[in-house]
Every structure is written in structure tokens, then in C-alpha cells.
Amino acid sequence: MTQMDLSEFGIESKIIIRNPPTSLLYMEAIRHEPTTSLSDLGALIAYSGEKTGRSPKDKRIAKNPASQDHIWWGDVNIPIDEHTFEINRERAKDYLNTCKKLYVIDAFAGWDPEERIKVRVICTRPYHALFMQIMLITPTEEELQNFGKPDFTIYNAGRFPANRLTEGMTSKTSIDVCFEDQEMVILGTEYAGEMKKGVFTLMHYLMPLKGHLSMHCSATADPESNRSAVLFGLSGTGKTTLSADPKRKLIGDDEHVWTEKGIFNIEGGCYAKAIDLSEETEPDIFNALHYGAVLENVVHDDNYVVDFHDTTLTQNTRGAYPIEFIKNAQVPCVAGHPTDIIFLTCDAFGVLPPVAKLSEAQAMYHFISGYTAKVAGTEMCVTEPQATFSACFGAPFLVMHPSKYAELLAEKMKNHSVNVWLVNTGWIGGGYGEGERIKLRYSRAIVESIYGGQLADAPTVTDPVFGFETVTDCPGVPAESLVPRESWGDPAAYDASARKLADLFLTNFKKYQEGASQDIISGGPLSQTS
């Protein structure tokens, strides 16, 4: 722990503590924040206040001639002018200068020494400092002494609101990134995940400019060959569960980059959803939430035993912990080129097969689509599943047009002979309410067969609507479950659902069509119905 001078950054506070130890951050949090406490397992329990999740509508990117042509402007990347960014930065610094004590974390993003960036986080809450100390990669003493000027600085003044009268502001919350100044400003939200995703946003800008593919995915590696596999999937598709494989090494659970050397994890820790967490269902994550970890927005009893099923505060309860808390983690978190890419989807329509092999064009199309389906509730008598699409399985964090990331994916697939698979962890034998959810053991058997190479030459049939190759024989999975139309009691009903899902894909893809090549478009559904 060291104190430091930040006057060149416009910060003049009396006490500035750099890279404090976990023990001090625990003590500072409990001493200065009455709601902060310790769980019975020793994790720090903290609360983010009014905002318990990200505020994507309040994210802004400073528009500058040097970067503006690279950026996919729209609902994801909303522009502000540089003067507005400067006003918000000055407002953040003014607030930070009123604080008696600040915490600074200097650390790295990216496990590859040649590609990592130096990140500086300036914040007021010890829980935020501990969170970023977990999520970034801790430098050695020598690296800290020679850290120098950071590549990216985060001014977290989240306890202070933005001025909603400032041009371009829509609320008292504003999360602003300037690629030219290499800075991020946070106002009006204390949700810790904004800092983590700010770093990811920067990497989504920097890495493609170098020809590297930044990915919102989990990754594992074969312990013998060190060849990796990456799993993409939206919430509820089983990405975390299927990445917890005792036969493989965990590279990371959320953010990675694929370079000419292989893949590396951007982060030093994991930020797992904690809703309904139990030792029985997710033992690795549950057992990682001990001293040195942070539990965010969870509810506990008088004995500080956490009720992971209690969503009184939010459904977005979280746990952050260093990746080395997972026993089969590979540290440093780097691995060789992937042998396989897996797109996970939970298709509640019951249309997509448990496993299908994708061509290059289909891989790009499904990557840009980022599809899953959520089970609808009973509100307004809506009982049908709801399709969800998120470009590249992480639309809120993309900086460039999705086709840029898809083209990088295709290039690396081709260069390294990678197989791409669509794995449905949702319904078979009918949609939600008629069929049944695919058993977890079947999904595990499919993924294990992918890793083992058994599916590379497995028999397939071409899907008449989507055009991909449906695998018809997989060890450990009943053959009658593998071809959806044959598992439905009413083939005509299946055909109608398949046409409906195809139309949903086609409608969604219209927003990306202008920036997509004909090769990508050709990977979509074969039957374009009205």
C-alpha cells in the first residue's frame, strides 16, 4: 500500500491510497459504510445503492475525428461532443476533490504481456476499489513501481450525479468514454459493473484495430494440448455451468481476446450471477465466495448467512472473486488457438437441435444474431416464448459494427481450422409448455463429445429451414432427441414454429444488413417467409 500524488490528474485530495491490501479495504468498508458487512463465509457484502445494474441508455462515447469512423453509432454507442465529456470529467474531479480519502487501483487488463493495457481506477468507495482489484490483474511490486502513466483512467464519482441540463444528458446518470483521452467518467451510479464493462468497451475498440478479436465469452483449455475452446451465450443458456468442467482448465468466464498467438483473458477475476446460487449446483462459484471476494446486493439474515434466492433488492445479485479462487483455473490465463467455438442458445420454441455444425457463413450470421429465447411470464396473458437477440452475444459492449467482429471470427476460424457448433440447451419435443427442457447431462455429453472430437465426423442431416448440419448421433444422448422435427408429436406444428423462428431471425438481422457482406447474409435461414 502506498500513498501517491495525483495532482497532474487534477486530484488534490489529502489522502490517496494506492493499491491497498484486501484487509484494509475490508476494514475501511465496514468502518465507513454502515450497510457493508461480512458474510458467514468471509466475503464482503456491499450494496450499490439505487442502481443495481448497468445503465446502457446513459452510456456515451465522445465523438472525435480520429475514432468516429470506426464506431457503430446508434442505440449502443450514443455520441456526445468532446466539450460535454470535458464538463462531466471536470464535475467528477470536483467531486473527488471534496472527498477526504480516495482509493487508487493501478493494474492491468489482459494476461498477454504484449497486449495488456495499464488501467488506473480512482474511486471513493473501498468496495469499488476491492472490486476492481479483483477484476483487473495485480501487478508485481516491480511492475507497480514502474507503472508510469496509465493507458486508461477511470474517474468513478458515482455518488455524485450528472447535471441533467448538460447537453446530451438524459438523467442524473452518465457513463462517458473518450478513446482519444483514454478516460472514463462515471456519474450518478455506484454499480461496480460499469467500471468492468468500461474496460471491456475500450478493449472492443483497441483490439480489432490490431486485427485481434475481442469476445464476450467463457473459455476453457485442454490440460494436455493447451488448445482452447470458447463458449458464447446470453444469460440462461448455461455458459457458466458448461464452462465448469473438471476435465479442463478454466481460462476465464466472460471477456477474452483472440490474437495470432491464441487467446487470453482480459480480467483477473470473475463476476458471476449469484441468484439461486447453491453449493450443490455451482460448487466452484459458491466455494469461491470467501474472504477476498465481494458479494453485491445480496440479502442476508441476522447471522450474515446469505439467501441467494432472495431477490428483494434485485435479481442481478453478483459475486466477484479472483480467478485463482477457482481450483482448475489456469494462471496466467492464456491458452492456444481454439479447436472449437460453441454458440449456446436456450431455444424455448423447441425448434433448434441440441447440436448442429455451422459453416463459416452460418457462424458469422449466428454470431451477429446472438439468439436465445426467454420463457414468457403470465403478464398480459402472454404465454409464448420471447426471442432475444444480442449482436455478438454482447451488443451493449460493442464499439464497431457487428460485422467487423464477425469477419475477424471468420478469418481466425479459417486460419486455425476451427469447428463452430450451435448447441441448444432449451426445449426439445415441443416448445415451452409442451416439450421438455434438454437434460443438463445431455448438454454436458454434447460439449464433451465436441471437445473429444467425436462430433467432427458424426452423421448429420441438413436442416431445411436454417441450412445448418444437424448432428444425428452423439454419445450419451438419445438419438430421438437430436432431430427436433422427429421429436415433436405434430410435425406440422414444428414446421410452423420453425418458420416463425426463421422470420424472427430475418427481421432482427435487417438492422445489421447494411453493414454486412453477402457472405454473412447467406448464412441465415434458407426459407424467407413473410
Catalytic residues: 54, 197, 216, 235, 239-240, 254, 318
Q: Give the three-state DSSP class for 169.
A: coil
Distance of alpha carbon 234 from alpha carbon 240, whole angstroms: 10
Residues 264 and 334 sit within 8 Å (Cβ to Cβ): yes
The identity of residue 418, as a single letter, is V
Chain CA centroid to CA 6, Å? 32
Distance of alpha carbon 256 from alpha carbon 335, whole angstroms: 11
Residue 438: Cβ within 10 Å count: 23
Q: Do the bridges between strand 419-424 and strand 355-358 make them parallel or antiparallel, or are there none, so unpaired?
A: antiparallel
Tell me the sheet residues that pair with 216. 255
Q: Give the three-state DSSP class for 295.
A: strand
Distance of alpha carbon 519 from alpha carbon 488, whole angstroms: 33
Chain CA centroid to CA 515, Å? 24
Residue 2: Cβ within 10 Å count: 12
Nearest to 318 by CA among 44, 123, 25: 44
Distance of alpha carbon 256 from alpha carbon 217, whole angstroms: 7
Distance of alpha carbon 189 from alpha carbon 49, whole angstroms: 8
Helix H, strand E, coil C: the string for 107-145 is EEECCCCCCCEEEEEEECCHHHHHHHHHHCECCCHHHHH
Q: Which residue has the cell 457463413?
A: 361
Nearest to 202 by CA among 92, 116, 91, 96: 116
Residues 219 and 252 sit within 8 Å (Cβ to Cβ): yes
For the sheet with 174-178, list strands across it: 2-3, 15-18, 101-109, 117-123, 152-157, 183-187, 174-178, 59-62, 78-80
Residue 141: Cβ within 10 Å count: 8
Distance of alpha carbon 191 from alpha carbon 173, whole angstroms: 11
**151: Cβ contacts below 8 Å, ≥ 6 apart:** 117, 118, 119, 182
What's the N-to-C CA distance of the chain in angstroms?
A: 64
